[in-house]
Structure 1
Amino acid sequence: MARAATAHSPASEPLPAFASRLLAWHAKHGRHDLPWQQPRDPYRVWLSEIMLQQTQVATVTGYFLRFVDALPTLPALARAPADQVMALWSGLGYYSRARNLQRAARLCVEHHGGELPADLDALMALPGIGRSTAGAILSQAFGLRAPILDGNVKRVLCRSHGIDGFPGQRAIELHLWWLADALLPPSQLADYTQAIMDLGATVCTRARPECGNCPLRDDCVALATGRVAELPTPRPRRTLPQRSAAWLVAVHDSRRVLLHRRPSPGIWGGLWSLPEFPDESSLRGDRALGTTFPPPALVPMPAVRHVFTHYALTAQPFRLDIGEDQVHVFAPGPGVAEQDGCRWHPLDELASIGIPQPVRRLLTGLRLRED
């Protein structure tokens, strides 16, 4: 069971050595000008934490600024059209994060007065918020005593305390949570949380860590025993499954492309993508295609390879140019509601909707060739 977050102790209580060294280092070398730190309110902290899952700060910064410029408050996110949210997220990947973000915002409007609750259990009840994200919100936005355990923190703790075993294993993870909580200082919770994340991101890195610049080096078990490169214990190797698909790139009048909204939940759920088939034979056997076009009309394009968390996809796109007399077979004309999840979309308006990055690159290249 997750521990409840508590208000921090009086600032006069002495800091433990671990926290004291981290905070002193952070004051001189930590990151103090990240956009979500100015101001560090609950909405901005939450948004940044969700964006930073599986994604580097350098990538997130631009997306964050565009997102808060368009949707500056939690209520604004809650009432925004889903297509706008997905368009703002497009390119960041792991699109369930964006869907959960808006679902959580709407629940906050419905149950919490349009604000994120300052309560661990209430936060974790919201879609997409786990214990570490909740801890980051509570400590950084509310100054409450709550540990975090993202990848950077796991690495710092495993090395500094010499913890063997893959951190994703249940027993190891529970021990790390206990340790993360035990090391929390009685005060300066927001700065401490930022400090331990920054240390893992900039000094105690996965490859080529800068141990000579680490404030914890004097007591680091991994450094003392020569196991910095071995810790944390890596995930056991596994073979990534390979999958294939065929994509239909139907183009009308060199200006519009046929798009299909992906079902949700699922990979790229809720995004607009190209109609997908298991293979070329299935594509050619599609009812609309099979009764409207002769086989030579399909033109193969360069294959697209994309690696997901659980499998690698190789997609073979096939271009099909559609005449005016055939466009209605696939989807209604412009300005008309989508038909069976499909619609024709202008190639020069791709930025207005959420599209998977590999598909966006393909269509952007198509548009450039047409220009």
Structure 2
Amino acid sequence: MKQVKAIAFLCLAVVALSACSEAEEQATPQVRPALSIIAGPRESEPGSTFTGTVEAKLNVDIGFRLLGRVTARMVDVGDVVRAGDVLMTLDTTSLQLAVRQAEADLASAKAKFDLAQVNASRQATLLRTQATTRERLEEAEQTAEAAEATVKQKEADLTKAREQTTYATVVAQTDGVVSAVSAEVGQVVAAGQSAVTIARLEALDAVIDVPDTLKALQLPDTEYEVTLLSNPQITAQGRVREVAPEADGATRTRRTKLALSTPDKAFRLGSTVVARPIAAVATAIWLPETAIGADQSGGAFVWVIDPASGAVARRPVEAEKAQGGGYDIVSGLQAGERVVSAGVNSLTENQIISFTDEIAR
């Protein structure tokens, strides 16, 4: 009997221990292995030198102020011009005819005005002898005033016609270099159409393309050292003056203009230059494609790992496609944070993982 009780007691103990073991297994969360990466700039980030060209800060488009046919072109691309130099002319036949017509109209108006004055003077003399009425005198005086106004109108028409003849000649308004010619002899140009473009030489820019990820190098007044590619001994200082509002869709770079400070004469328009930022290069955080997940609305997210507990937390980020693959993180993540680099679509919030000690490439 005692043996039966002992066996029963042992069975109950085994069952109790088994239940406790199962409870402990259920209470212990399942740890899942996962690959991870420390957020940071990739090693293959572009260097800190950028090739560009020298361009004029200001380009002036010059055109005719009236419709006409080009009869002469005095300049070619690359010519140095001074203010007042004649660049192009139009056919003036119709303009000269308009001047002659205006002169004839003015002569006719003056003759009518002289006649009206004589008539008014005659009526005034007759009124003193009571040979006419005051009404006829007033009518003659009004006719003379109208004739005088017509003379002034015709004088203005003649001045306008003569001025328009000057519009048939395009002259340079400033010193510079002809950078483009948009009209040829025999071509009919419209009023306001650009005929010649002049690049002014008092201010020059070095134009480069900076990767969109290098935000710090696109800030206003960021300093660069600009060197002539043909002669590295000749340098100039440049500051960021203007940055394109949008990045190029293919290269993901922004056109950046550097204002050159007192450049050497060797910095000619079109010269190839190399620009190096004086400050250190700041890069964007880079992650591989496998580390980026997408939610139902299309937004990007990553799983950030708590190094102490191994728990993961989902965090939305703003990401852009990077050159050479992967994504550049614009916002939402700090450098040095560890994120899951694979299997992002099979994790849950606060899940415990075991991660490897990887670093960003």
TM-score grouping bracket, smaller chain normalisation:
under 0.3
By percentage of residues, which structure has more helix? 1
Higher strand share goes to which structure? 2
- Work out which of the two has the higher radius of gyration on C-alpha atoms and give 1 or 2: 2
Instruction: Please report the TM-score for the alignment, with normalisation by the length of structure 1.
Output: 0.19
Of structures 1 and 2, the one with the larger relative CO (CA 8 A, separation 6+) is 2
